[in-house]
């Protein structure tokens, strides 16, 4: 990639951040409304003794809540990452950084600092890096290790965003050989690999392929929250690219709703993060009852992060209180207990899951 292309990556990141902050970029329909946890009127628990902590990839996290991959790659994101990292450190939860492509390809100290600030602000937190599957295909393993070293990462997330690429006027729409690249990196990298979508979900079939490739964690990033085709539609409109604008708008609601994607992925992999439109601690609780290990949120942390780490900490504490309330009224003293809670599946999610597991349309 040329320096010019790399700085285009940096400018694109800035466009995205501005659109996410100023425009309507959220869809609905995660399916969590269709998941009803069965109330326990006699929980026989002391609320204050409930323990929402988990062990995740050999690290202790105070709660099963992830700050999903967002920023880095532009100098104006440094303060956002500092606030997110300080909050992750203070509260003991995990944080993902945004794509490190610009950090690897641009020789710019200020761009680099937009990533390294996270580790500086949170020396002991679980922080994970981020690259696109298309970059894994291009980079040798030394280059991928550089992304890990840049932030002393505890894991590396690899994002899948082909709908977004197809909606971008300048998108990379060659989707070939990504699974082989993921497998190659999974076998050689010094840290675990998380494969994530970016808002369109992961099916059981894809989860099975990723599991066979040796991926350590699947993050579903399903439909129902931030829409990247919607974001690209705004960019396309501004760039006078009417076809891309139409496609971005047409596919705004595309994808596997997060609840259904979670159900499909937990059947194929034993470590799954549910994200994409997760907005409350109750959503996190429902995801865990469906079998996920944790829930993740991206956009809801952006505004608080621009206000500083105290605002992010407050948002995290609110989420944990909501989760802990759900644990209380389902009689769950621990996250393991919550995974065993009975639930009822209703509406479109039930229909979706039934069709996907019926003999005519099997997941396997
Ligand atoms: C401002 C912003 C930037 C993002 N940048 C990245 C990125 O660089 N890499 C990535 O894997 N996902 C990125 N995402 C996607 C999120 O990690 C997440 O999958 C998606 O936004 C859905 O979650 P949400 O509905 O909670 O926002 C970004 C999301 C936002 C809001």
**pLDDT value at 236 more than 50:** yes
22-67 pLDDT, tens digit each: 999 999 999 999 999 999 999 999 999 999 999 999 999 999 999 9
Predicted local confidence at residue 360, as pLDDT? 57
Mean pLDDT computed over 71-88? 96
290-306 pLDDT, tens digit each: 999 999 999 999 999 99
Domain region containing 143: 11-356
Find out whether the beta carbon of 298 lies less than 6 Å from any atom of ligand 1. yes
**pLDDT value at 359 more than 80:** no
Gap from CA of 332 to ligand 1 centroid (Å):
30
**pLDDT value at 3 more than 70:** no
Residue 2 lies in a domain: no
What percent of the chain has pLDDT above 70?
96
Q: Which two tokens stand for residue 213?
A: 């490739």
Domain count, the chain: 1
User: What CATH number does residue 93 fall under?
Assistant: 3.20.20.70
Find out whether the beta carbon of 299 lies less than 6 Å from any atom of ligand 1. yes
Residue 174 lies in a domain: yes
Q: Which atom of ligand 1 is nearest to the CA of 69?
A: 17
Residue 223 lies in a domain: yes
Q: What is this structure's pTM?
A: 0.96
Residue 84 lies in a domain: yes
Gap from CA of 292 to ligand 1 centroid (Å):
19
Residue 177 lies in a domain: yes
Residue 19 lies in a domain: yes
Residue 241 lies in a domain: yes
Q: What sections of the chain are H helices per DSSP?
A: 3-22, 78-91, 101-105, 109-121, 133-138, 141-150, 162-167, 178-188, 204-212, 228-238, 242-250, 258-266, 281-289, 302-307, 309-328, 335-339, 347-357
Residue 6 lies in a domain: no
Mean pLDDT computed over 97-110? 95
Predicted local confidence at residue 15, as pLDDT? 87
Predicted local confidence at residue 1, as pLDDT? 43
């Amino acid at each position: 990639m040329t320096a010019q292309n790399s700085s285009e990556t940096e400018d694109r990141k800035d466009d995205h951040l501005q659109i996410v902050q100023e425009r309507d970029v959220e869809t609905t329909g995660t399916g969590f409304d269709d998941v009803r946890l069965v109330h326990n009127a006699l929980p026989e628990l002391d609320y204050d003794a409930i323990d929402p902590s988990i062990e995740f990839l050999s690290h202790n996290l105070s709660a099963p809540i992830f700050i999903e991959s967002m920023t880095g790659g532009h100098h104006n994101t440094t303060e956002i990452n500092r606030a997110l990292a300080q909050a992750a450190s203070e509260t003991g939860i995990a944080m993902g950084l945004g794509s490190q492509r610009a950090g690897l390809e641009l020789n710019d100290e200020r761009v680099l600092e937009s990533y390294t600030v996270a580790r500086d602000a949170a020396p002991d937190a679980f922080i994970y890096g981020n690259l696109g599957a298309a970059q894994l295909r291009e980079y040798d393993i030394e280059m991928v290790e550089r992304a890990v070293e840049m932030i002393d990462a505890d894991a590396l997330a690899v994002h899948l965003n082909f709908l977004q690429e197809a909606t971008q006027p300048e998108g990379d729409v060659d989707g070939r050989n990504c699974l082989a690249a993921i497998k190659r990196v999974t076998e050689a990298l010094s840290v675990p690999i998380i494969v994530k979508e970016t808002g369109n979900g992961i099916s059981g079939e894809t989860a099975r392929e990723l599991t066979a490739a040796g991926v350590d964690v699947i993050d579903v990033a399903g439909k129902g929250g931030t829409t990247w085709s919607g974001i690209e539609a705004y960019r396309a409109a501004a760039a006078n690219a009417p076809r891309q604008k139409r496609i971005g708008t047409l596919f705004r609601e595309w994808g596997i709703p997060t609840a259904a994607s979670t159900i499909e992925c937990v059947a194929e992999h034993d470590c799954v993060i549910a994200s994409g439109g997760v907005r409350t601690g109750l959503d996190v609780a429902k995801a865990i009852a469906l079998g996920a290990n944790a829930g993740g949120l991206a956009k809801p942390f952006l505004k608080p992060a621009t206000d500083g780490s105290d605002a992010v900490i407050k948002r995290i504490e609110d989420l944990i209180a909501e989760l802990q309330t759900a644990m209380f009224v389902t009689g769950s003293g621990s996250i393991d207990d919550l995974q065993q809670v009975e639930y009822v599946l209703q509406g479109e999610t039930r229909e979706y899951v039934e069709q996907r597991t019926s003999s005519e349309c099997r997941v396997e």
